[in-house]
Structure 1
Amino acid sequence: MTSFARLARNLIAGLALFAALPALAQSDDDLLPVTQAFHLTSDASQPGMVKLHWRIAPDYYLYRGRIKIKAAEPAAVTLGEPTLPDGLKKHDEFLGDVEIYHGDVEASVPYTLVDAATRTLALDVQYQGCHEVDPKICYPPNTEHLKLAIGGASTIPAAASPVANGAALLGGPTTTASAGEAQALPVDQAFRFEALVKDHGSLLLRWTMPKDYYLYRDKTQITVASPAGVTVGEPDWPSGTAHHDEHFGDTIVYFDQVELPVPLNGASGATAVAIDVAYQGCLENGICYPVMTRHIKVDLGAGTASVGAPSEEQPAAAPADVAPTPPPPGLAPGGDAPVGFIAAIGLALLGGLVLNLMPCVLPVLSLKAITVLESGESPGAARKHALWYTAGVLAAFAVLGLVIVGIRAAGHGIQWGAQFQQPLAIGLLVYVMLAVGLSMSGVFEIGGSLGNVGSGLAARSGPSGDFFTGVLAVVVASPCTAPFMGSAIAFAFAAPLGVAFLIFLALGLGLALPFLLIGFVPAIARLLPRPGRWMETLKQLLAFPMYLTAVWLLWVLTKQRGADATALVLAGGVLLAMALWWYGRSRGARLSWVFTGVLMVGAAAALWAVHGLPAQGAALRVAADGSVPYSPEKLAELRGAGTPVLVDMTADWCITCKANEKAVLDTDAFKALLTRTGTVYMKGDWTDVNATIAAFLEQYHSVGVPLYVVYPKGGGDGRKLSTVLTYDSVEKALEAAAHP
């Protein structure tokens, strides 16, 4: 079974198990323990047959399809197929048509002993049921270990265990996971808890979770048990990850590790305090643990804290949920159908091809166009240029793909185009574009070939020039998440390493395809004009897109680090231009390299100084368009009030984002649509590094920006829109969200 199929199966199973489980708005103190709600007895008096009988309490029901019986010692006995009566037919939103039991139900299980001298029979009986009136909850699957005396009517329960591997599983079966599927960790391993004394009046609580485990913020409660007069102040929660539960609604969760400063009020005269900390968390796409309580004894004088084991007094029906997640990676933008491998390869190829038309790629292609035109006098030279350029593109995509997939496999988030969030990377690209433009303008040259001009590696003659021009094309192409490209990259992020590698290569092949065709199809090559003196004029003319690209990058840098950063990079650019001018004028002179090197060092120092400048506030970058700056807390507040919300994750370096704003989001018609539907427009600015927005992108398995998510009125899962917006598609989505 593929990893995608396993993910889909687990997601559907988890949703189905708790389809009837709403938020517990009422007290569950009167709910029965699971073994009293579904009282099980057995009868092994008839040789070769075991009868199991459940007496189901009023207002409870048992799922027929959730009853599973197996031998605890398979080598000693062979079990036949259990015989169960027909149940009451019931339609479940996720399980479909099911059968349930009320009152009493009996199952007959035939068996054959391997050794006729065996006098006891050990069975593991698993079942699951629900409470069907308020508070409506479903119990976790419960397993009872029975040891039966063959020939007698007795039940010897070895243990009634709703626990697997030490963790109470509230979102999945307690049976052993199949090969390749991880078991849930014991609670102490899933949520490693520590308490530190910061000073006499405050504590620091720390939770550390393995990959894919998360802790709920609003399920955490901290109370002082003793002494009287000491209370807990307002905990200083850090920013978390926005998470939507079908039953808990919008909430905030924490992955990896969270540290929580907790002030103690009135503790100045106390020497020691005792604190109870209750918390709850889940395994993503898996199970949720019951509320866990830790008892902390703090010696304020010695500055030490001892943490007790988790309380064994778990509630009979702790709030439980398998949080529904957004569609898994590999969904087409705005669609619901998963993208298969062949489709992902096709979309990647097409997406790479479309990148050739993007404004951030065109300047580099202008540089390459000179090479192709120059090589028109020789078909062999044209093929050579095309092959080396393609090799550079493919190598860059392969390295980028391996780095991104490798980082994500290690449990760290990274999104497409994230290098444009780094001021140093932006400044370096400004220098590259400026140098390439100056070379094309004739300020300096490296080598004699018109087609292999530029700066550094990309400007060298021969194969290396073609190769590194391809690399440069990939570097500046990444912020242009073109149509057809997002789904393929999302599929690559979720796919095995080999498949992901092929998808990134397909993206590169699509980007290089036009030049491959020119180099290898003589009919296309013959359409190109013959080389001549006009090429020098064209080369100088094409330098100006390079300068404009540098201007755009400076604008992005201004948004990230302000005018001081722009001034530093401009000053460095002047030093770089002087160095290249001097190199072009004095090439061959003994001191030319020394002077050029000094100027280059000055340009590098100016660029490095940008690194120490503070980031600009995201709220200052939100346009005056009536939007609300994104925060998980504000989104949860709006969702809790039943307000429809459109979340727009954007960035100043995202060309597709700007095109969508121009065509739809900045129009009067869109503003009128927001008013008509009562929708709040929430905007997140990812121009600079922002862990909160990165977590939101990760939550919706988005490889980058733009990301548009519509939340319906009154609750429900968010719906992703296409990365390329039209007014009609947005209007349809917001109308549906306002009138679910």
Structure 2
Amino acid sequence: MNVTAVPIFPHTAPTRLNNDWLKTLCLMILCIATALTSHTLYAQQSDAFSPSEASSINLPQNNKQSLTSETSNSFQNTFTNPFAESTEEFLTVDEAYKLSIRASDTSIIAEWVIEEKYFLYGEQFRFFINGDKVDATRPAGEVSYDVIFEKDVEKYYTYTQAIINRSALPAAINDNNSIQLSVTYQGCADAGLCYPPETKNFSIQNNQVSEIRVTLAHDGNSPQQNTTSSNTQSTLSITLLMLLLAIGGGAILNLMPCVFPVLSIKALSLANHTDTRSRIRHGWSYTLGCVLTFVVIAGLLLLIRDAGKAVGWGFQLQSPSVITFLAFLFFIMGLCLSGRIQLGGSWMGMGQSLTQGNSTSSSFFTGVLAAVVASPCTAPFMATALGYALTQPTPIALLIFAALGFGMALPFLLLSHLPQLNRLLPKPGQWMETFKQAVAFPLYLTSIWLLWVLGQQVGSDGIVLSLLGVFAILFSLWISGIKPRLKSLTVMLSCIAIVAIIWQNNQRIGYEDDPQATSSHGLWEPYTSATLTQLRNNNATIFVNLTADWCITCKWNEKRVFTDETLQAMKDKGVYLLEGDWTRYNEEITALLDEYGRGGVPLYLLFKGDELTPATILPQILNPNDFKQLIEQL
């Protein structure tokens, strides 16, 4: 069926653009935006944290004995459980709880992969460095009644981690490149057996971790140190878990309002492909576009990190040049879907070609576009995976980001491989043209939202400049409609105007006051590391909200959970509210994200009024009722 798009402007036909000309201009704009982004990040960021000079401190030989004696009283009655079934075959401690340690200049992170039907007790963790007890930050666990302790206790299933902030350690420890870490933990099986407390010792030399295995010789010699395969196996298990979390988080990204319309149209276009091989090719082309885009973004992030800069996930939307480019891109896409611009030939990643292109390049560029749109956000399951990836060697980090892109492409890939799922899709017809034009409006709204984010970074002048670019595009379309012979000239002038506006908006960084200094609103106070340190020294209860204007998850939580009534209830209980705005790069916020093993926002931390008690990390997507209950318990 031949469908003719209804022009937005009367008496003019849709403008058809030459492919090679359009591809050249788009690639030129994209390259300039990328170069400006890199320049901006280097200009904004200061020198990275440098590790201290090091010397050696030895672990006391009686360290393990002291750990055991400290915890033996509390665990004395839990070693044997009368409720355990004698016929149950239980795993060993190392099989049930796979522990691995990783270290960086800013933190030491202990991670456990926990087998199904087993759990760890939250209150039984103990950490010693060079014989001194230290605190570690853990995410909130599941609270339930325990028949052993006969009270509600915090438990961890599947996975957990504990983060030791090295900046909070005594100077004598940080001044050494040799650290002896001792970790004690205890868990149980759902079937009833509880294990005695398990203690493992590790040596950390220049952030390289090896386990200290204790072997007793006949003459009672001291422990012998070697690097064991069990630690390697634990690291492999955690990496596999992070890959699964990345795939799950990537799949959830498809629900973003600016991604879902594009994915919907591309999914519906599969109904036009009756050949199974053709559908599969399109599925894998889309997947390749998603995966490569995430890998490229991750590669840029890792290059900046390795150059000594601290950056996090979503860093690309801290650049006005990228925001301006995306705003124009979404506006042009909206014009394409509205039928105002038609793209010919093999350049089929946007607009009308999203539903009518037969080339696999259309699917590839749709995957690229969807990944670019979704990349600034952090979905559930993603935060842990991204935080882990940013502390790993480059090959593992890129593998996790590739898994994120694969997870995002997975729904479309399943549609392309499983014909029975395609039967659930509506049949092609006139309604698809109407639907295509209708979903153009969410893209227009996305452009408006991006302009709002731009205004938060560079002020109202940046918005006005961008609107002048929109005017240039519309004027170019009007001239092309009434004077077709001037089409090439007007397109070229519009692209030059867009490039100039992107450049000018990028130069406006620093024209406005630092948004972090004025980001507080309502009952929030702006976050600074000095403020947090001072409040913690005074044993204050503190809630920290790290957010950004371009973070959709952050805005969702702020609208549903952080209401004036809820925030006032927290203030009435003496809770200090600190808000860190990461819309533009901020070194102190980036350091706090890195300290708690997070690659991006949102991050919610609750400090419960004790200088030595680590913060509780709240979920990324908050439930209003659960949050109110948390406030009532303060």
- Which TM-score applies when normalising by structure 1? 0.53
Tell me which of 356, 361, 372 is aligned to 2:270: 372
Secondary structure of the equivalent of 2:599?
coil
1:282 lines up with 2:138 in the alignment: no
TM superposition shift of 1:410: 4.2
Tell me which of 700, 704, 708 is aligned to 2:604: 708
TM superposition shift of 1:576: 2.4
1:493-642 alignment runs, 5 A limit:
493-583=390-480, 589=485, 591-613=486-508, 614-619=511-516, 622=519, 624-642=521-539
Tell me which of 238, 242, 246 is aligned to 1:340: 238
Q: 1:694 to 1:580 in 2, by over 3 A?
A: farther
Is the Cα–Cα contact under 8 Å of residues 388 and 467 in structure 1 kept in the other structure? yes
- Deviation string for 1:614-653 (max 9, x for gaps)? 2443256535331111111111221121111111110011
More strand by share: 1
Q: 1:401 to 1:483 in 2, by over 3 A?
A: same
1:268-417 alignment runs, 5 A limit:
282=175, 286=179, 340-369=238-267, 371-373=269-271, 375-417=272-314
Distance 2:423 2:322 in 1: 39
Counterpart AA for 2:342: E
Q: Which runs of 4+ in 1 moved over 4 A?
A: 87-90, 170-173, 283-287, 448-452, 455-461, 580-587, 731-736
Distance 1:364 1:390 in 2: 14
Distance 2:426 2:628 in 1: 48
TM superposition shift of 1:658: 0.9
Alpha-carbon RMSD:
3.9
Q: 1:285 to 1:419 in 2, by over 3 A?
A: farther
TM superposition shift of 1:689: 1.6
Counterpart AA for 1:371: S
Counterpart AA for 1:344: M
1:172-321 alignment runs, 5 A limit:
245=168, 282=175, 286=179
Secondary structure of the equivalent of 2:621?
coil
Larger RCO of the pair (alpha carbons < 8 Å, separation 6+): 2
Distance 2:431 2:353 in 1: 26
Is the Cα–Cα contact under 8 Å of residues 246 and 404 in structure 2 kept in the other structure? yes
Is the Cα–Cα contact under 8 Å of residues 579 and 597 in structure 1 kept in the other structure? no
Counterpart AA for 1:351: G
Q: 1:347 to 1:584 in 2, by over 3 A?
A: farther
- Deviation string for 1:361-411 (max 9, x for gaps)? 2243245245334x3454443333222111111111222233333433443
Secondary structure of the equivalent of 1:481?
coil
Distance 2:417 2:443 in 1: 28
- Deviation string for 1:20-58 (max 9, x for gaps)? xxxxxxxxxxxxxxxxxxxxxxxxxxxxxxxxxxxxxxx
- Which TM-score applies when normalising by structure 2? 0.62
Distance 1:438 1:724 in 2: 34
More helix by share: 2
1:690 lines up with 2:598 in the alignment: no
Secondary structure of the equivalent of 1:714?
coil
Q: 1:285 to 1:670 in 2, by over 3 A?
A: farther
Is the Cα–Cα contact under 8 Å of residues 447 and 461 in structure 1 kept in the other structure? no
Q: 1:397 to 1:283 in 2, by over 3 A?
A: farther
1:485 lines up with 2:382 in the alignment: yes
Q: 1:637 to 1:413 in 2, by over 3 A?
A: same
Distance 2:478 2:355 in 1: 18
Counterpart AA for 1:707: L
Secondary structure of the equivalent of 2:390?
helix
Secondary structure of the equivalent of 1:475?
helix
TM superposition shift of 1:426: 0.3
- Deviation string for 1:107-163 (max 9, x for gaps)? xxxxxxxxxxxxxxxxxxxxxxxxxxxxxxxxxxxxxxxxxxxxxxxxxxxxxxxxx
Larger displacement relative to structure 2 (378-387 or 718-727): 378-387
Q: Any unmatched runs of 5+ in structure 1?
A: 1-13, 19-62, 68-86, 98-169, 174-241, 249-278, 288-321, 326-336
Partner of 1:726: 623
Q: 1:455 to 1:504 in 2, by over 3 A?
A: farther
Q: 1:492 to 1:626 in 2, by over 3 A?
A: same
TM superposition shift of 1:496: 3.1
Secondary structure of the equivalent of 2:499?
helix
TM superposition shift of 1:349: 1.1
Counterpart AA for 1:430: A
Larger Rg: 1 or 2?
A: 1
Counterpart AA for 2:609: K
Partner of 2:577: 681
Secondary structure of the equivalent of 1:537?
helix
Q: 1:338 to 1:385 in 2, by over 3 A?
A: closer
Secondary structure of the equivalent of 2:580?
strand
User: Identity over aligned residues, as a percent?
Assistant: 35
